[in-house]
A and B are shown apart, each in its own frame.
Chain A
């Protein structure tokens, strides 16, 4: 079973204590929302989980393998994939080539035709198969979001972190992204969604983690978190109370 275990994670940037002893576990194919106001430490936590930066102290285990001291590419190979807050597609590479990168980085064993078939299947699911030979830079912002999600399908990690997957996305594409998240989750993957779009987060997540100034102030089912006074004070405010 998938297990991500984050223990007492701390991160200092000079005098700033950005993460303060954050601990949580992901067990099995959970669908988790990670929320918090700007500056709460969400992106720092993501960057530590994916190996882009190292924690000041604390540990991260993925499926019993310690990953907090690994490089990004090693973390990806260990089974944790992510998207970025600002879409980072390989702009001057074709859509298909964007998908080939993670598959080949993980030593895809099949033939070229099999690789192409797999990529086409992903593109068809994401409804952008007609753009397969276009350079990624020709795609709209929303289509590039889908392309990033497609790359994760090719990477096939156990744990997926989606950083602001709904930001700037056309409502029709939101449906595609919802379907993506549900399908990937149902296939047995754990997903952590970081978003400021509360409606999406509350409707999708089975569990919410709330960060505030580097502290994990809540961890539980969305309905429970909604009523948590610390969360209301720190983040949700009167809007939730009204809701």
Chain B
């Protein structure tokens, strides 16, 4: 009994060891490529959040959405536009649209599109030129932008969830793919506001730097965003685990298995379908918002179909029906994809791995889909969690009419 309990705990213990490794890594690693390695890990945590939330949506609830990156983009652009266009000033600009709250003016900057700031200045920059530093100009808090981005993504997810209630499988995938393309097209088209392919610049996560445990880190330091993204990943995994183990998780899995049967047993399938869309899209939007402030510039390319395919592939290779497997799959694949960037020479022929790595990635995906329906990591976790079920069934088998049947 005790060994059975220990066996079931092996994945949790392995997870804690992995987590301890991630927590200690920035403090231990001293390589010359420190910033590069840290960047890869931060990005891998970002993908892990997307893959695990998509796993809840597609793997647990069976809602095969191709729009997850669109919600990530909505989160990123919401905080990007919020930080780009809204400021607090100590005096009225008398040039911008502005609202007074006591001694503070809430200023909405006019969009000037993709123009050189030396040729055209927005209303706030014109006012600042006149003020010559005599009036305080405060950007909006980054955390508020991230919060708004999360809410915007969740709201969009709620609306899309309501729209796709009657759509199943391929139709749902096509609908959400269409939605994603629409979001990308709007961002690309509204150059005046979003700056299109020129990219929208954002303040850094910690624009004025941050002091952690008595050590000051400037705005470009990797350690603060590393722990921020890791913390966000842990919060998301914690939330998703709690949901998966609650009646919510039970009901969305029933929804995946058979929506009509679940409804006939009293499950409000509409409610849970909309809820799972709202929650997972809000998580994707939160990841997008934080990542946007980390990389400090966003373009509509975030929403390329290839990016969505990458999330799907990461979740599928890890194991789409297990949020932890999907997250670990995303981290491992992101690291592997970076390691495979190094080109090499065979018999005088240079193999350009910047292209060929995607071929290897595609082959891995195809092999996984063909031979390992629930990915490469989820079955491992399942082995420890459910490995003794068959033995238990045999041990508890009784002489009964049903037991006489061969399952």
Residues of A within 8 A of B (CB): 50-52, 71-73, 76-77, 81-82, 84, 88-93, 97, 100-102, 104-106, 126-131, 133-134, 138-140, 142-143, 146, 151, 155, 170, 172-173, 175-176
Contacts of A90 in B (CB 8 A): 253-254, 257-258, 261-262
Chain B's closest residue to A71 (CB) is: B263
List residues of chain B with CB within 8 A of the CB of A129: 396, 398
Are the C-beta atoms of A143 and B402 separated by less than 8 Å?
Answer: yes
Contact across chains for A131 and B250 when beta carbons are under 8 A apart: no
20 A/B residue pairs, CB under 8 Å, sorted by A = A71-B263, A73-B263, A81-B264, A82-B264, A90-B254, A91-B257, A92-B253, A92-B321, A93-B250, A100-B250, A101-B262, A102-B265, A133-B392, A142-B402, A143-B405, A143-B407, A155-B266, A172-B402, A173-B405, A176-B401
Query: Could you tell me the distance between the alpha carbons of A140 and B402 in the complex, rounded to whole angstroms?
Result: 9
* A140 interface neighbour in B263, B266, B407, Cβ under 8 Å: B407
**Is the CB–CB distance between A172 and B404 below 8 Å?**
yes
CB-nearest residue of chain A relative to B261?
Answer: A88
Does B370 reach chain A (CB closer than 8 Å)? no
> From residue A79, how far is it (CB to closest CB) to chain B in Å?
10
Greatest chain B CB density within 10 A among A73, A84, A89, A143 is at A73
Q: Are A131 and B257 in contact (CB under 8 A)?
A: no
Which of B360-407 touch A at CB < 8 Å? 386, 389-390, 392-393, 396-398, 400-407
Alpha-carbon gap, A185 to B403, bound state (A): 25
The distance in angstroms between the C-alpha atoms of A104 and B269, with both chains bound, is 13
Q: How would residues 250 to 285 of chain B score, 1 for a CB under 8 Å from any chain A CB and 0 otherwise?
A: 110110111011111111111000000000000000
Measured between C-beta atoms, what is the minimum distance from B400 to chain A in Å?
4
In contact, A105 and B393 (Cβ under 8 angstroms): no
Q: Which residues does chain B contribute within 8 Å of A91, judged by CB atoms?
A: 257
Could you tell me how many residues of chain B have their Cβ less than 8 Å away from some Cβ of chain A?
Answer: 36
Decide if B405 touches A131 in the complex (CB within 8 Å).
Answer: no
> How far, in whole Å, are A105 and B386 apart by their CA atoms in the complex?
26
A72–B260 contact, CB under 8 A? yes
The answer to whether A105 and B257 have CB atoms under 8 Å apart is no
Across the two chains, which residue of chain B brings its CB closest to A106?
A: B266
Please tell me if the beta carbons of A139 and B250 are within 8 angstroms of each other in the complex. no
B247 at the interface (CB under 8 A from A): yes
Query: Across the interface, which residues of B come within 8 angstroms of A126, CB to CB?
Result: 402
Within B227-254, the residues touching A (CB, 8 Å) are 247, 250-251, 253-254
* Least Cβ–Cβ distance between A96 and chain B, in angstroms: 10
**Complex: how many Å from CA A72 to CA B392?**
36
Are B396 and A50 in contact, with the CB atoms below 8 A?
Answer: no
Alpha-carbon separation in the docked complex, A81 to B254 (Å): 16
**Contact across chains for B267 and A101 when beta carbons are under 8 A apart:** yes
Q: Are B389 and A102 in contact (CB under 8 A)?
A: no
Shortest CB-to-CB span from A47 to chain B, Å, is: 9
B251: chain A residues at CB < 8 Å are 101, 104-105
Asked whether, in the complex, the Cβ of B402 is within 8 Å of the Cβ of A173, the reply is: yes
Partner of B263, one of A72, A97, A131: A72
Shortest distance between the CB of B174 and any CB in chain A (Å):
25
Residues of chain B lying within 8 A (CB to CB) of residue A146: 402
Q: Is the CB of A73 within 8 A of B402?
A: no
Select which of A93, A101, A138 is within 8 A of B265 by beta carbon.
Answer: A101
